[in-house]
Structure 1
Amino acid sequence: MEIRELECFLVLSEELHFGRAADRLYVSQSRVSQLLRSLESRVGGRLVERTSRRVRLTPLGERFLADLRPAYGALREAFERARADARGVDGVLRLGFAGTLSERLLDAVAAFRDEHPGCEVEVTELPLSDPFGAVRRAEVDAAIVLTPVREPDLAAGPVFSVEPVTLVVSARHPFAARAAVRAEDLAGCPVVGLADPAPRYWREAQSPAATPDGRPIPRGPVVATLQEGLTMAAVGRGGMLMCAATARHHRRADLAAVPVEGLPPSSLTLVWLPANRTARLDAFARVLTG
């Protein structure tokens, strides 16, 4: 296989126009035709139909494109990672986080800076209701988010920062005086929910609709940020479930944090677009989960 022929086919499949494909490849139209004919000869069949009116892929071309595109993308990613590794870890790493930048995360950022003084770290707070949007829009290189993560277009690192779940309620709430509550007790307390565009499975994990035994949990107000959720809890509109570390960080006189027994622990992971993986990101992930 010749990489230039594959690149030519990929560009032509996007443009469906020999002239525009030639412009993108910085070659002549005749060179595009030559590369395509050579590739078709190697494959043993027509990949592209060309008439005076239009250019389109043949059924064989469509199947070849579906197989080739992810393989070529993986090849490019491997090359870019190797090139980044060769240059070393420098530049700027943009990290997003939803909720609270805990002491552990701050320590990880500080340790990364100590190990890689040539790399600056920019940290951006993300809406709690949109944990993945900034990653997809390439506004950040990676985001630290609550699990679970079931996004097929995103890569996720190891789980870390596993913490027990805490219910934050108003200091005047009947649960506030308890040392702990059971998961089944949530059937008697509206729980603050998260707004779109967070995927449904993720919102359900952070704000379940039922107890482990299947008893419905009343729906509280829907919020987009952690601060909105804390405000709703403080004014008695409902309780908000969060990890113990976040609850400790936001300790206030008008709120009470009560451990919840019987719910799975809360945990974090690092997510990124596979195409945007770099040596900087790999180095930070090692520090974060090391």
Structure 2
Amino acid sequence: MTITEAEAVPTGATRAPAGTVEIRELECFLVLAEELHFGRTGERLYVSQGRVSQLIRALEQRIGARLVDRTSRRVRLTPLGEDFLSALRPAYAALRATVENARAAALGHSGTLRLGFQGAVGYGFTEVIGEFEERYPGCETRITELPLSDPFGPLHRDEVDIAVVLLPVREQGLVLGPVFSRQPQYLAVSRRHAFADRTALDAEDLAATRLVGVAAPAPDYWREFQAPTRTPAGTPVPRGPRVGTLQEGLSLVAANRGVMLLCRPTAEYHHRRDVVHVPVTGLPESALGLVWHRDRENPRVRAFAQAVTETLAGLAP
């Protein structure tokens, strides 16, 4: 059946200007198409049921035909309403994305965020990066591995915007943000080492073996925490080789040229058949922190720090 122009306009209504589109009317129609109930649609949009009727009526006037059939018992879309809905949903989603991308750009949330990371990207950070990029689709995260022996240099040299590093952090000009992944320490030893059959070790046991340390340019205080030169009781710990990367250290451990302290997630991730990881009591827990340079803090950095706080809190047991 052909619908005439007079029949297309709801009774008693004045046709709205055909060349204009009101976003609020489109939003109302999309919600109503989901709810099929004027009252619930009003609740979701925080407007009255009467206002919902006005918005739908105005949209129908712009189009020139009914989009919704409503009776006292039910609400359903007309065939034209179904077609309109199918076309509107992707168009509206694209429009919202365009607005959000423009807003992100205006706030400085677009562009590339250079993330430095010591070791493998773990500790829930896959979820953090995914959540961050979903919130800010105009921002891309680029991951760079930081050398074990130079945790802060890339930040000072502006090679990364933000970094995940082992604590402690006492650097001039650097800001320590969220701290997370507090973990007990483990000792990585060769299967040929005398400690390989032990189920646990005390920090004082470190005095009986050569401890692999971290090479410069990592600062002395940081190197001392990762590979202490004395036990808590003050007994000297024999110095082993100094390494620039974690893989170098594990290779030396496997060759039985020293032992190496690791946090539990790193020990679990870098499992090797020729290396055993034994828990150590009496040492401070290891922890990771998010760090950036004070002079180069920007909206992307602050937004990523917020994503770290919120996402990792949600993943905590």
TM-score, scaled relative to structure 2: 0.63
Q: Is the 8 A contact 1:84 1:279 kept in 2?
A: no
Alignment of 1:34-45 (within 5 A): none
Deviations 1:84-143 (A, max 9, x none): 884352111000112232242222112212222221000000110001111111111011
Unmatched tracts of structure 2, length 5 or more: 1-102, 311-317
Partner residue, 1:191: 211
Q: Residue in 1 aligned with 2:309?
A: 289
Aligned to 2:293: 273
Q: Distance in 1 between matches of 2:130 and 2:150?
A: 26
Distance 2:218 2:148 in 1: 8
2: CA distance, partners of 1:84 / 1:198: 36
1:279 shift after superposition: 1.1
Structure 2 CA distance for aligned equivalents of residues 178 and 105 of structure 1 = 32
Q: Report which of the two structures shows the higher radius of gyration computed on alpha carbons.
A: 2
Partner Cα separation in structure 2 for residue 249 and residue 170 of structure 1? 17
Please report the TM-score for the alignment, with normalisation by the length of structure 1: 0.69
Deviations 1:46-74 (A, max 9, x none): xxxxxxxxxxxxxxxxxxxxxxxxxxxxx
Aligned to 1:260: 280
Q: 2-side partners of 1:286 and 1:177: how far apart? A: 43
Pairing 1:93–2:113 present: yes
RMSD between superposed Cα atoms in Å: 1.6
The DSSP-based 3-state class of the residue aligned with 1:174 is coil
Letter paired with 1:139: E
Structure with the larger RCO, 1 or 2 (CA within 8 Å, 6+ apart): 1
Secondary structure, aligned partner of 1:241: strand
1:174 equivalenced with 2:185 (yes/no): no
Note the 1:161-240 alignment, pairs <5 A.
161-240=181-260
How many angstroms apart in 1 are the aligned matches of 2:163 and 2:305? 11
AA partner of residue 222 (structure 2):
W
Choose the corresponding residue for 1:120, options 140, 144, 157. 140
- The count of corresponding residues between Structure 1 and Structure 2 is 208
- Gapped regions of structure 1 (runs ≥ 5): 1-82
Query: Residue 244 of structure 1 corresponds to which residue in structure 2?
Result: 264
State, as a whole percentage, how many aligned pairs show the same letter.
Answer: 54
Could you report, residue by residue, the CA deviation over 1:265-284 in whole angstroms, capped at 9, with x for unpaired residues? 00011111112111111111
Q: Distance in 1 between matches of 2:209 and 2:231?
A: 11
One-letter code aligned to 2:203: A
- SS in structure 1 of the partner of residue 124 of structure 2: helix
CA distance in 2, matches of 1:106, 1:256: 27
Dislocated runs of 4+, deviation >3 Å = 83-86
The answer as to whether partners of 2:108 and 2:298 remain within 8 angstroms in 1 is no
Partner of 2:178: helix, strand, or coil? coil
The 8 Å contact of residues 105 and 138 in structure 2, kept in 1 or not, is answered as no
Do the aligned residues in 1 keep the contact of 2:104 with 2:138 (CA within 8 Å)?
no
